[in-house]
A and B are shown apart, each in its own frame.
Chain A
Amino acid sequence: MAVHLRKYLRLNKLPHIWCPGCGHGIILNSLIRAIDEVGLDQEKTVVVSGIGCSSRATGYLNFNTLHTTHGRAMAFATGVKLGNPDLNVIVLSGDGDSAAIGGNHLIHAARRNIDITTVVFNNNIYGMTSGQYSPLTPKGAYGTTAPYGNVDQAFDLCDLMISSGASYVGRGATYHAKQLTTLITSALDHKGFSFVEGISQCPTYYGRRNNLKTAVDMLQWQKDVTIKKKAAEKLSPEEQQEKIMIGELHKVADRPEYVEEYEKVIEKVSKKEGTTG
């Protein structure tokens, strides 16, 4: 790691507790590179997480950090942003954390288009509680609570975010770490609700149970199954089904941002108050 990036880490909290081969460290690496690229003011940046392996990331980051309750990071983050709109607010969350228990908060943050950047560490499984299936576990895959194969349909979180109103949506993967950094950089630069799904690997609980025994197997799987958006568009709908699209999936510049809209209310009210004395 470039020496100047060390200031973003709490070096005394390292080494981290993630398993050997876990993808979460790669996403963390992409995140701090992106923060550096954008030049966020460290003192004015708050990083909020929920509960899960992913959410331990806040402990390693040398910012104002907030490790909340399971699934609720987005709600806390919304409060931080409204408590002081000058702060840059970043949410880090797992697939279970953000899509199961926190699903409601996630879609409403997107709907409001509040200026928060969210990075979901998607390892398709509940890591911290040791391998139960999540709303992003593919149908048929195995987990400790899906011993005969998962019956649930999986979410496509990026689709969900686009239809909920997020104004920036991207998907990357730890195999494509550079692209992931670019996506998070664009998300941080974006005004409004920005969302990046980072496909991560959990060899410990997902891989071992699903015939991808090592981290390398899992990265190889990522390489095989991901496809850039442009290339995917050339495929038939059936062929697209087989693939996971990565890259910048959605970006709109003209959706009103929540905090700015509220500031207009404050302005309107203070003018009115001013004239009536």
Chain B
Amino acid sequence: MSEKKPQLIQGNEACVKAAIAAGIKFFAGYPITPSSEIAEGLAEELPKVSGRFIQMEDEIASMGAIIGGSLAGAKSMTATSGPGFSLKQENLGFAAMAEVPCVVVNVQRGGPSTGAPTLPSQGDMMQAKWGTHGDHPAIALCPASVRETFDLTVRAINLSEKYRTPVVLLIDEVIGHMRENVVLPTQDELEIVERKKPAKDLDNYLPYKADDDMIPPMANYGEGYLFHVTGLSHDETGFPDLKNPDVIGGLTERLVNKVEDNKDDIVEYSTENLDDAEVVIVAYGSAARTAATAMDQAREKGIKTGLITLKTIWPFPEEILTDLLKDVKTVVVPEMNLGQIKGEIKNCINLSQNIVGVNRVDGELITPAEILEAIVKEES
């Protein structure tokens, strides 16, 4: 990997560099604005590391293909935006059910439907959690800068391999297309996670018998273990058992709990100026950058304002936010949607505390002035 010097790159390019650095060996995708640079970048980079790229016939196929690629042993990912993310949902559920590590990047654009292709949005937050049918685990990360796009791409790949589950990276169009001067870590500074392998006992391998950490070791196809993978509810052998409620319920709960019970390991966030804060902005993605400016401006006006930036959106850090927000008078949540995450934060405060959303769904960025105005209004 290149020596450490600043380079002027886009968020989407940082995602490509991170994917290669974290060991992605297979990408299947279908072009869609504003995510296409990720497919284009990986089409160029993957063959250089003996990896493979394919442009599939649609997003459903791409999602199916990366599941197949991952089962065959290649770390796999795809990238898309709004309408494509909708198409991926059925097979995303399959990956969750069959515990196949893979990463889906969603560079969000305005929706619903084909919406506003070239304009920024944070409208898919809830879809990342509830998009596929049934109760299922969800891990979703959300970068606020080009450097963070690199870091969280590596992290998404690592988490997917560690927890054997699909991980969604929610970039917004601003971050995906913004160019920043960044210094990336060298390969040896990165921690790369590999999937946990079974002990070499070919005849007694139970592909879905979880260890104490709730995660079953994973064999790849072709390594000698002959096992069955299905999207049907299954027991430890991997075969469907629809007669036993304990098996069906136990599996669904384990899948969800292997993520929910490991929040300590999965959740990442940062805080600024919380010590004396009476107003706290909770933000993520590009809105978090605007929020930082608004926080400084509010402080200049003498309003004690702090900022919490969420990098992990799902699993939602409810306990952490409940604790961090307990003495705060007002919580401000700027989002490029109509309040998807505000609803979650509402569960973290009590009735005597105010919560206000600053929302835009017109394809325009939220400005610091808008956030400041909301703060001043609440404080006056």
Majority secondary structure, B binding face = mixed
Q: Are B224 and A68 within 8 A (Cβ)?
A: no
Contact with A along B41-64 (1 / 0, CB 8 A): 000000110101010111011111
Contact with B68, one of A66, A108, A266, A269 (Cβ below 8 angstroms): A66
Tell me if B119 is interfacial: C-beta within 8 Å of chain A: no
Residue of A nearest to B75 (CB): A83
Q: Which residues from chain A contact B62 at a C-beta distance below 8 Å?
A: 75
A69-B91, A84-B221 as given contacts; A262 in contact with B68, CB under 8 Å: no
Q: Are B73 and A83 within 8 A (Cβ)?
A: yes
Q: Which residues from chain A contact B358 at a C-beta distance below 8 Å?
A: none
- For the side of the interface on A, what is the size category? 35 or more
Q: Are B48 and A83 within 8 A (Cβ)?
A: no
A62-B226, A65-B229, A69-B231 as given contacts; A78 in contact with B73, CB under 8 Å: no
Q: Are A80 and B224 within 8 A (Cβ)?
A: no
Please, how many angstroms separate the alpha-carbon atoms of A33 and B28 in the complex?
A: 34
With both chains docked as a complex, state the minimum distance between the C-beta of B101 and any C-beta of chain A, in angstroms: 12
Q: Which residues from chain A contact B68 at a C-beta distance below 8 Å?
A: 48, 66, 75-83
A87-B222, A108-B56 as given contacts; A80 in contact with B61, CB under 8 Å: no
A65-B229, A83-B70 as given contacts; A105 in contact with B61, CB under 8 Å: yes
Q: List 14 A-B contacts (CB under 8 A).
A: A42-B226, A65-B228, A66-B68, A68-B64, A69-B91, A72-B91, A75-B63, A75-B65, A78-B54, A82-B52, A83-B74, A84-B72, A266-B47, A273-B48
Q: Which residues from chain A contact B223 at a C-beta distance below 8 Å?
A: 43
Q: Which residues from chain A contact B61 at a C-beta distance below 8 Å?
A: 72, 74-75, 78, 104-105, 108
Residue of B nearest to A85 (CB): B52
Contact with B64, one of A79, A86, A269 (Cβ below 8 angstroms): A79
Q: Are A67 and B232 within 8 A (Cβ)?
A: yes
5 new A-B contacts, CB < 8 A, other than A43-B226, A59-B230, A80-B68, are: A46-B222, A75-B61, A76-B68, A84-B222, A268-B47
Q: Which residues from chain B contact A13 at a C-beta distance below 8 Å?
A: 239
Residues in chain B within 8 A of chain A (CB atoms): 25-26, 28, 47-48, 50, 52, 54, 56-58, 60-74, 76, 90-91, 94, 220-232, 239-240
Q: Which residues from chain A contact B220 at a C-beta distance below 8 Å?
A: 84
Residue of B nearest to A88 (CB): B222
Q: Are B50 and A266 within 8 A (Cβ)?
A: yes
Q: Are B56 and A75 within 8 A (Cβ)?
A: yes
Q: Are B229 and A67 within 8 A (Cβ)?
A: yes
Q: Are A80 and B72 within 8 A (Cβ)?
A: yes
With both chains docked as a complex, state the minimum distance between the C-beta of B93 and any C-beta of chain A, in angstroms: 8
A13-B239, A84-B221, A265-B47 as given contacts; A46 in contact with B64, CB under 8 Å: no
Q: Which residues from chain A contact B239 at a C-beta distance below 8 Å?
A: 13, 59
Residue of B nearest to A268 (CB): B47
